[in-house]
Amino acid sequence: MSESEASSPTIWEELMSPLNLVLIAIIVYLVYKIIKSNFESDVTVAPSPPRLPKLRKDMTVAEIKNYDGTQPDGRVLLAVNGIIFDVTPGKRFYGPGGPYSAFAGKDATRGLATGQVAGSETEYDDCSDLGPDEVESAKEWEEQFRAKYDIVGRLLKPGEQPNTYSDDESEEKKEEKPEEKKSQ
Ligand code: HEM
């Protein structure tokens, strides 16, 4: 055996060099972390809160105030253009402490139309003084809400009677109630 062959390290010796030992330790640690996180993700994902039962009801301005997210069930409603939406799924926006909590339990039409984060405080705001651009803006918000949230019912003008909604009624039918047309 030549001298150079005798001094060249074997594969085992190569593997056991301090640098390789450190690298092997890092790889083992990372593999352990990946396996552990895969396992934990099955176990520790917080269950999403149970969806509240669907609410179908026409309400007055006074009634809708009871749904600002501070009640035990945490439901949040707001109204746009006379339509009440259940915005509970957007609680991070409208719930207590959220950036748009001023709209919770309120008629948000004027605020959304004019760019003010404030719900109407009056008994009923007919918004008849809004300009065309503001009316358009409110309409666009209404479309967004229609696409994203469930409709609860109509915001009642003073003296208006609530509709009664049955469980099997479709959204379409509810929207076309004759009384709604009468009141316009
Ligand atoms: C500097 C101004 C503003 C900024 C940077 C801003 C930003 C945002 C952002 C990032 C979101 C979340 C969007 C998402 O995750 O889907 C949001 C949502 C929202 N913003 Fe603003 N916003 C501003 C002004 C306003 C104003 C003036 C109003 C109304 C008066 C408004 C009404 C809303 C509403 C209602 C939502 C929630 C929509 C939903 O339920 O999906 N924002 N905003």
What's the 115 CA to ligand 1 centre distance in angstroms? Answer: 10
What's the 102 CA to ligand 1 centre distance in angstroms? Answer: 12
Q: Can you give the pLDDT of all 184 residues of the chain as single tens digits?
A: 445 455 677 877 777 788 888 888 888 888 888 777 776 655 555 566 678 999 999 999 999 999 999 999 999 999 999 999 999 999 999 999 999 999 999 999 999 999 999 988 878 999 999 999 999 999 999 999 999 999 999 999 999 999 999 876 544 444 444 444 444 3
Q: Are 64 and 106 in contact (CB under 8 A)?
A: yes
pLDDT on residue 14? 77
pLDDT on residue 99? 97
Quote the longest CA-to-CA distance of the chain.
109
Q: Give me the count of residues in the chain.
A: 184
What's the 151 CA to ligand 1 centre distance in angstroms? Answer: 20
The upper half-sphere exposure of residue 154, i.e. CA atoms within 13 Å in the direction of its Cβ, equals 20
Which distant-in-sequence residues (6+ apart) come within 8 Å of 109 by Cβ?
79, 80, 81, 82, 120, 125, 127, 138
What residue owns the CA closest to ligand 1's atom 35? 100
pLDDT on residue 160? 96
The closest of 182, 166, 156 to 58, measured between CA atoms, is: 156
> pTM of the entire structure?
0.73
Rounded CA separation 13/47 (Å): 51
Residue 9: phi, psi to the nearest 5?
-70, 145
- Atom index in ligand 1 nearest the CA of residue 117 equals 30
